[in-house]
Amino acid sequence: MSLERAYEAYQKAATDEPNNFEFYRNSLIKTFGYTLETCGKLLRKRLEPFFASKRAADALTFKEVFREAHHRGLLEKEQTKRWECYRDKRNATSHEYGEIFAQGVLKVIEVFIQDVKCLQTIIEHE
């Protein structure tokens, strides 16, 4: 929900508050990163029953979590590729702050929001 609110505020600022536009954009990008990390952690938790131990699930890297979810039939291949792309974009924005990197996130934010909602359903389904 906070991601959607940040996106709505960003869109509104683009037309109503041009002086604060950069603030809202940066807030949206930060919320994108936080949401992405949370999704990875929750999906990892959802995958734990597929492993012999919690430690084995915890050993997976972020991208491996999503690949394993695909392997287990929780995600489609295209969804998995998008999540890997989101991770790459997040990594880029955490090392570089600038218009080019921000635009990379902004281009995928609407699809990301839909993927988050889909993932929420997957995580909540036991």
Number of domains in the chain: 1
Tokens standing for residue 98: 């600038």
Tokens standing for residue 10: 């960003």
pLDDT in tens, 17-47: 878 888 888 899 989 999 999 999 999 999 9
CB atoms within 10 A of CB 106: 17
Range of the domain at 20: 2-124
Residue 102 has pLDDT above 80, yes or no: no
Which CATH number fits the domain that encloses residue 117?
A: 1.20.120.330
CB–CB of 26/10 below 8 Å? no
Q: What is the pLDDT of residue 61?
A: 95
The helix, strand and coil proportions of the chain, stated in percent and rounded to the nearest 5, come to 85, 0, 15
Residue 94 has pLDDT above 90, yes or no: no
CB–CB of 50/72 below 8 Å? yes
